Chain A
Amino acid sequence: EDQVTQSPEALRLQEGESSSLNCSYTVSGLRGLFWYRQDPGKGPEFLFTLYSAGEEKEKERLKATLTKKESFLHITAPKPEDSATYLCAVQAVGGSYIPTFGRGTSLIVHP
């Protein structure tokens, strides 16, 4: 059974204080790992897809990396508008395209 564990559950940062969110996963074979951002009252918004260990993707202050067992979402010099819940999901090889989600990390960035 595919499993995704995100840590920490919640993270409070000061504006400009860089940090990382973790997503560890167990899957028979990884087809893709996805990061989403979710604002209160809205649906998850797609950020990145990572396919193989060593791959990195960047978007503004966010950088996602992937190893064989986990992914990190690095947030550099965060701003209050980066406050959101960040979700990680994995997709396994072999037929089904169903993503399995972690429970998310709630990030609050204080000005």
Chain B
Amino acid sequence: DAGITQSPRHKVTETGTPVTLRCHQTENHRYMYWYRQDPGHGLRLIHYSYGVKDTDKGEVSDGYSVSRSKTEDFLLTLESATSSQTSVYFCAISDSDRANTEAFFGQGTRLTVV
């Protein structure tokens, strides 16, 4: 299994509070992604990173920010949590320097905003 750890695995937070989710990898892969998964929508890309301090927006980036200060860590921050951000969040990694560039996923973080 690819070395990806997401923390926390579960979190309940109140509307309006900031929340940070962490993704840690031990594979030294260049690309890291944050997706959210909701019934009826599948996996939707929030933000991604293609290197240290290199990030870009995905299709559902409003209300989220990210940071990558080290190759192994990719943080997702909900600046002011809303109920619409209740979801399961997945981190994924992939390596552009290999012939195969499939993404490997973490176990997910279930976030509930009340």
Please give the residue numbers on chain A whose beta carbons come within 8 Å of chain B beta carbons, in ascending order: 31-32, 34, 36, 41-46, 49, 87, 89, 91, 97-104
Contact = CB atoms under 8 A, between A and B. Distances in A.
B104 interface: yes
Nearest to B31: A97
B101 A97 contact: yes
B74 interface: no
Given A98-B48, A101-B43, A102-B42, A42 B102 contact: no
17 contacts: A31-B101, A32-B100, A34-B103, A36-B105, A42-B107, A43-B107, A43-B108, A45-B105, A46-B103, A49-B100, A87-B43, A97-B94, A97-B101, A98-B48, A98-B58, A100-B45, A101-B42
A99 to B, nearest CB: 6
Interface residues of B, number: 24
Contacts of B92: 43
Is the contact region of chain A dominated by helix, strand, or loop, or is it mixed?
strand
A36 B48 CA distance: 20
Interface string B83-114: 00000001010101000111111111000000
A8 B87 CA distance: 24
A110 to B, nearest CB: 23
B105 to A, nearest CB: 3
A24 B41 CA distance: 17
A100 B42 CA distance: 10
Given A98-B45, A101-B42, A46 B33 contact: no
A104 B48 CA distance: 22
A92 B92 CA distance: 17
A89 B42 CA distance: 11
B102 to A, nearest CB: 5
B42 A103 contact: yes
B88 to A, nearest CB: 9
Nearest to A45: B105
Contacts of A43: 90, 92, 105-108
Contacts of B107: 42-43
Q: Quick one: which of A32, A43, A98 has the most chain B CB within 10 A?
A: A43
A43 B92 CA distance: 9
